[in-house]
Homo-oligomer: A and B are copies of this chain.
Amino acid sequence: MATYKTRAQFVADDLRQRILGGEFQGGTQLRQDALARDYEVSRIPVREALLTLESEGLVEFHAHRGAFTTELSVSKIRELFELRVLLETHVLRRAIANLTEADLDEAESILIKYDEALNSGGEIGNWSEYNFAFHKALYAPAKLPETMALISQLNTKSDRYIRMQLLYTQEIEKAEKEHHGLLDFARQGDADQACALLETHIQEACEGIVAVLENRAKTMMQQA
């Protein structure tokens, strides 16, 4: 079901990737006309795509002035990651309560696939997706779809910054170790330790991003 993709959805999906990939600086205006030419469609599906992205927090509309990509302040990033801690530990705890062997294997297979991709090539272009896929697999047994939707939303909002962090720091291996740790605790059924690890995992990612952002702000000051 819902296999058909309208042009608006196509544009939305592609544009989301481009924004998350860092193609646009925060605050740049997305001209409907130009995008319509790019995708060889009219402005109507472009507008609808932009509206979708607005609801995801990636762009902002100003009436009669158009859509601009958003930029998060440090305090908002901190807030988002605090929410992630709150929601994801909640889900993880519930997930561990009704975890099966199959669930654990599923999560582990994602991790292994990622390990291989990392060791062989080093293509971190879609690391962010692998990362989220693992978390999702781990949380899925909780069977809390609404909560997962919120978590996805938070991830989408902060994904740009996560990628940026990975670009500037070499935290991937550390994250990878923590993922294995999470899996081990989950396998042992130790929800408390798993949640504690998850909490620091998220918090440290947050601090890494904040550090990169503040560094960038400083170098930009010097340039000016």
Q: Which residues of A contact B (CB under 8 A)?
A: 2, 4-6, 9, 44, 47-48, 51-52, 54-56, 62-64, 76, 79-80, 82-83, 86-87, 90, 144-147, 150
Contacts and interface: CB of A to CB of B under 8 A. Distances in A.
A158 to B, nearest CB: 10
Contacts of A147: 79, 82-83
Nearest to A8: B51
A4 B76 CA distance: 26
A19 to B, nearest CB: 17
Contacts of A144: 79
26 contacts: A2-B62, A2-B63, A4-B63, A4-B64, A5-B63, A6-B63, A6-B64, A9-B63, A44-B44, A47-B48, A48-B48, A48-B51, A51-B51, A54-B55, A55-B56, A76-B145, A79-B144, A79-B145, A79-B147, A82-B147, A83-B87, A83-B150, A86-B86, A86-B87, A86-B90, A150-B150
A6 B64 CA distance: 9
B48 A79 contact: no
A111 to B, nearest CB: 27
A91 to B, nearest CB: 10
A146 B48 contact: no
A9 to B, nearest CB: 8
Given A44-B44, A51-B51, A52-B55, A146 B62 contact: no
A152 B62 CA distance: 21
A87 B63 CA distance: 31
A190 B64 CA distance: 48
Given A4-B63, A44-B44, A146 B83 contact: yes
A15 to B, nearest CB: 15
Nearest to A5: B63
B86 A146 contact: no
Given A6-B63, A83-B87, 19 more contacts: A6-B64, A9-B63, A44-B44, A47-B48, A48-B48, A48-B51, A51-B51, A51-B52, A51-B55, A52-B55, A54-B55, A55-B56, A79-B144, A79-B146, A79-B147, A80-B146, A83-B147, A86-B90, A150-B150
